[in-house]
Structures are given as structure tokens and as C-alpha cells.
Amino acid sequence: MTTMKLQKLVYYSQAWHLTWTGKSLFNDEIQAWANGPVTRSLFEHHKGMYSISASQLTAGQVDHLGPEQQSVVDIVLETYGPMTGTQLSMLTHAEVPWLNARGHLSAGDKSAAAITMDSMRIFYKELSQSADAVHDIADVNFPAWA
């Protein structure tokens, strides 16, 4: 998996967890980098790598996830997992949380601006209530407990 794809899957896991549970999945800030949302601590872990293998993902503590958290991550992987890192990046570039955090910056400009929890929660809540074909996650995979 490319590190770009990993970053976007982490972003969508946070966004949908916030939307469905009202709580963050993790505490790290997500920043609006030029290629899409990035968690700096994760970036520091894979810095200089283009792709990573499953064996390199040992820093995560999957066994510390509760059933709801695991369910959200599973849904995100099922829904967004087939997409490439580039496709996921393009998708985030069309969404309000990344656009608002970037403000008036040009496409390739560097930024460490935070994508706020509120902007993610509000945007994905609205998205989950619409019939957006690109985001079938809201219609097909909405967890029963949410």
C-alpha cells in the first residue's frame, strides 16, 4: 500500500468515526497538505517510504480498538480500500474539510493547517444524509449502532 493511501484511509477512518460516534478515533491532528489530509506523526513513521507492507504497520495497536472503532475502520477499508492513493487524494480535494483548511492556497502550496474535527463531523454528517453516489459508504455501510 502506498503511504498516500494509508494517510487517506486514516483520515476517512477518523472522519467517519467522528460522524457515527461523535468521538475521535485518535487524538493526532490531521493537516491539509498539498496531496490531501496527513497525520504528521504517521508521516514521521513512514517518512521517505513510497509504499509499506502489512508487516511494517506493526506500530498500530489494532487490539486496542473497541468493537465500534474496529467496525468503522472495517467499513472504511471495505469502501475506500479499492481506490488508489491518488484517487483518494483527489476525492479529499473535492471535499469541504480539506478545502476550508487550505483556504486560498494554490494547489501545490505547502500547508500545515489543521482540518478541524468539527469540519469533518459536519461535512460527513451531511454527506451521510445525502445520496451521494461517490460516497456509498453513508448509504450501504452505515453501521446499525450509529
Where do the domains of the chain lie?
3-140
**pTM of the predicted model as reported, rounded to 2 decimal places:** 0.84
Q: Are 11 and 30 in contact (CB under 8 A)?
A: yes
Within the chain, where are the H helices? 3-21, 40-46, 67-80, 85-93, 96-102, 117-128, 137-140
Q: pLDDT tens for the chain, 146 residues: list them.
A: 898 999 999 999 999 999 999 999 999 999 999 999 999 988 887 777 677 777 666 555 667 788 888 889 999 999 999 999 999 999 999 999 999 999 999 888 999 999 999 999 999 988 887 755 445 554 444 455 45
Cα distance between residue 80 and residue 111, in whole Å: 25
| DSSP label at residue 116 | -
The sign of the dihedral angle between the CA atoms of 88, 17, 123, 10 is negative
CB atoms within 10 A of CB 43: 14
